[in-house]
Amino acid sequence: MSQAMVNTAKTVRRMAIGRLQGVPEELFDVQPAPFNNTIRWNIGHMAVTLDQFLSRFLPFDSKLPESYAALFSSGTRPADWTIEPPSKEELLGYLSEQLENLGTIPAEALDKALPEPFLLGTMRFDTVGEIFSFAFIHEAMHLTTAANLAKLASQPQA
């Protein structure tokens, strides 16, 4: 079952990269109402969140720049940015690097119990695999948001 989880995660990430490659960069910073964030923020958030979840519990190192946490962690938003965000190419490069790193995760590592439950809001995770699975559910949610933003941003303005 754990290898199936890794394979599914890799599929989700491949889908994300493929979908986002087709979005013109000029749409990455459009923020239509009522959205709080942009396509660029959602992509960066996917990378940062995966890095935070997996590097905490697995040998997973995507080497994201330190500035990414300030730009893309939960609770951040483009309106508050004081530094230049990364380009589409850079973001997709890190998503691709993380995809490669997923292939190095030993499937049996996902079966391990955590030393203590990991709590995230009202959610409780008892195994590495539960956090791993949630990371890709979370990614799919943000990919959907990015896709919706791209549709809205590409519509002619009335």
Domain boundaries, the chain: 2-20+27-154
State the distance between the two ends of the chain, measured CA to CA, in whole angstroms.
Answer: 50
Distance CA 33, CA 95 (A): 27
CA angle (146 as vertex; 142, 149 as ends), nearest 5:
135
Tell me the whole-structure pTM to 2 decimals.
0.93
- What is the predicted pLDDT for the residue at 60? 81
- The burial of 105, by beta-carbon neighbours within 10 Å (0-12 exposed, 13-18 middle, 19 or more buried), is given as buried
Tens place of pLDDT for every residue, the chain, 158 residues?
688 999 999 999 999 999 999 999 999 999 998 899 999 999 999 999 999 999 988 888 778 999 999 999 999 999 999 999 999 999 999 999 999 999 899 989 999 999 999 999 999 999 999 999 999 999 999 999 999 999 998 877 65
Query: Which SS3 state, helix, strand or coil, does residue 9 take?
Result: helix
Please provide the CATH number assigned to the domain covering 2-20+27-154: 1.20.120
